[in-house]
Structure 1
Amino acid sequence: MNYLRLIRYQNLIFIALVQIFIKYGLFLPFGIETTLNTFGFVLMVIATLCITAGGNIINDIYDVEIDKINKPTKILIGRKITERNANRLFIILNVIGVAIGFYLANIIERPSFAALFIGISALLYLYASYLKGMLFVGNLLISVLVAMSLIIVLLFDLLPVITPQNQAPQSVVFKIVLQYALFAFFINLIREIVKDLQDINGDKKGEMNTLPIALGRKRTTKIVFGMGAFMVLGIVVYMYEHLYNEQILLLYFLFAIVAPLLYFCIKAWDAKTSKEFGFLSKLLKIIMFLGVCSIPLIQIIIA
C-alpha cells in the first residue's frame, strides 16, 4: 500500500480513465479510424502511467524536507520506503515507459514520436529537481504535461491515420479532445497555484519561488479567484455556442462543472488557511474528474 501511495495510484486511475473515455467513449462510437488495436492502446496507457508514476516518485524524493513541514504525517520516503528503493523504482518505471514508447512509435511508423516519452520523463525529473522552484514555470509545466495525457491519445491513435478522405470526421473529434485538454490544463494550473498557497510554509523553507511567496498569499488568492471566474465565463460561452440545443449536456455542464466552479470562486475569495486551500484543491480535482466524465456524452452532439 505504501508503494501505491508513493506513485499516487488515484491520479493514475484518473489518467487511465480519461484515455479510455477518449478511445472507447469518443473514437469508437463514431467509427473513427484509429491506429492502435486494444493491445497497442493498453501499452500506451501503461507507458503513460509508468512515466507519470516515476514523476510522482522523484517529486517525493526531492520534497522530503519540504513535506516535513507541509504534510509531516504523510511522508513515505525515509520512513516507509527507503530513498534507495524509491530511486530504483523511479528508474524501472521510466525504463519501462520509454521502452514501450519506442515500441509504439515503431508500430505506428512514427519513430520520432518515441522522443515524446523521453521528453516527458526528462521534464518530470527537471520539474522535481529544479523547475518546481521557479516562479510560475513549474505550475505551467506540470499543467502542460497533464494536458499531454489527453493529447498523447491523439498523437498515437488518431494522427497517423488521418488522410484527405477521412479528415473531416477525424478533425471533429481531434478538436473535441484538444478542447478537453485545454480544460484540463487550466483547471490544473489553478490547482497548482492553490497547492502552492496550501504549502507556502514548507516552500519558504525549501527556498521555492512560488507565486504566494513572491506576491503574498492575499494577492495570489485574488489571482486564483480571477482565474476561476475566467474559467466559469469560458465554459458558459462554450455552452452557449456549442451546447445550446443539447439539453442533457447543457444540464450536465451547468450542474457538474459550472456550479462547482462558482462555489470554488466563492470559497476562494476569502480563503486564508492551509485547510481551506486543501479543500479548494480537492474541489478542483473533483471538477476536473466530472469534466472528463462528460466525454462519453459528446456523442449526443455528433449523433
Structure 2
Amino acid sequence: MRLITAFLRLVRWPNLLFIILTQVMFEYCVLQPIFRHAGIHNNIQGVYFLLICFSYVLMGAAGYIINDYFDLNIDLVNKPGKVIVAKIIKRRWVLVWHIILNFLAIACNIYVDLHTSSKIAGITSFVCVILLFFYSTTLKKKFLIGNVVVAAITAWSIIVLTWLEGSRFFQLYHRAANLDFEKIFRLTVLYTGFAFIISLIREVVKDMEDVEGDRRYGCKTMPIVWGTMATKVFVSVWFTVLIAVLIAIQFYVMHFGWWISIVYTVVLIITPLIKAFRLLFPARTPEDYHRLSSLIKLVMLTGILSMVFFLLYS
C-alpha cells in the first residue's frame, strides 16, 4: 500500500485528473454540442476519444516521473520531506515506468491514427514525450523556456481535440453547412489561451517557490536571472491581461443573456484571480508562494468547469 501511495504521489494523480476533466469537458460540453447541432457525429467519439484522453494521462504521468528523477538533488533541498525517488521507489524502476507509460501513450495515439481519418495523433504525442523529457533534463533550468514548454503542452491537450476533428472539417464542409467552424475556432482559442496563460503564471510562481534549490544547482530560472521583484512584475502583467480579457468576455456574453455563466465567472474565476494578484507582491516565503500556486490551481479548476455552460446554453 505504501508503494502504491508513493507511486500515485509520484505521478501527481490530482494533476492527472485535471487532464481527464479538461479533455472530457471540452469534448462533451464544447465540441459535441456544436457537431450535434449540425447533425454530425464526432470523429473521435467513444473508444477513440477515451484512448486520446488515456494517452495524455499516461504522458503526464511519465513526465512527472522523469521530472522527479532528474530533480532528485534539487528536491532534497526544496522539499526533502516529499522526495519519493530513491527513497521509496528505486531510480531504475522510475526509469522503467517512464518508458512503459510513454510507450503505451504513443501506442494509443498510433491506434487512433490507424482507425480514424486523423494522422497527427501519433506524431504529436511523440513530440510531447520528447519535449517533456528535455524539459526535465535541461529546459526547466533555462530562462522562461521550460515554463513556456509546460504551458504549451497544457494548452495542446485542448487543441489536439479540435485538431483531430480538423482532419474531417474540409471533408465535411460540402455537406455540413450548419457546422459552425468559427465557433469551434473561437472556443478553442478561448480555452487554449486561458490554459496557456494560467499555466505560465503558475509555473513562474513555482519557480519563485523553488528558488533556493534551483540556485544551488545552477538553474537559470526567471527569479534567479531577473530577481524576484522583476519576476513578480512579469507575472502581474499576465494576471492583468487574463483578468482584462475575462472581464471583456463577460460584457460580450451579456448580449446573449448568459447571466448564470457571468455570475459564475466573476465569482469563481475573476475574483480569485484578483485575490491571487493581490497576494503576489506581499509573498516572501516558499509557503507564501505555495499558497499562491494552490489558489491559481483552483482557478484552473473553475476555468475548466466553466465549459459546462456551453452545454447548458447550446
Q: TM (normalized to structure 2)?
A: 0.92
The equivalent residue for 1:21 is 25
The equivalent residue for 2:168 is 161
| Of 82-91 and 162-171, the range deviating more from structure 2 | 162-171
The equivalent residue for 1:273 is 285
Percent identity between the two aligned chains: 27
Q: Distance in 1 between matches of 2:116 and 2:254?
A: 35
Does the 8 A contact of 1:108 with 1:160 survive in 2?
no
Contiguous gaps of at least 5 residues in structure 2: none
1:63 and 2:63 correspond: no
Encode CA deviations 1:228-284: one digit per residue, 9 max, x unaligned. Answer: 122111111122123453211111110011100010111112211111100010111
Taking the TM superposition and a 5 Å limit, the aligned residue runs for 1:107-186 are 107-156=115-164, 158-162=165-169, 163-164=172-173, 165-166=175-176, 168-186=179-197
Change (3 A) 1:138 1:161: same
Q: Distance in 2 between matches of 1:268 and 1:258?
A: 15
* Residue type at the aligned position of 1:82: K
SS state at 2:180 partner: helix
The equivalent residue for 1:247 is 259
Encode CA deviations 1:71-102: one digit per residue, 9 max, x unaligned. Answer: 11000001010100000000000000011111
Q: Distance in 1 between matches of 2:107 and 2:270?
A: 41
| Aligned residue-pair number | 301
The equivalent residue for 1:76 is 84
Query: Which 4+ stretches in 1 moved above 4 angstroms?
Result: none
| Of 80-89 and 99-108, the range deviating more from structure 2 | 99-108
Does the 8 A contact of 1:26 with 1:299 survive in 2?
yes
SS state at 1:109 partner: coil
1:36 and 2:44 correspond: yes
1:100 and 2:108 correspond: yes
Q: Distance in 2 between matches of 1:212 and 1:134?
A: 11
* Residue type at the aligned position of 1:166: A
Q: TM (normalized to structure 1)?
A: 0.95
* Residue type at the aligned position of 1:240: F
Encode CA deviations 1:9-34: one digit per residue, 9 max, x unaligned. Answer: 11111110111111222233341631
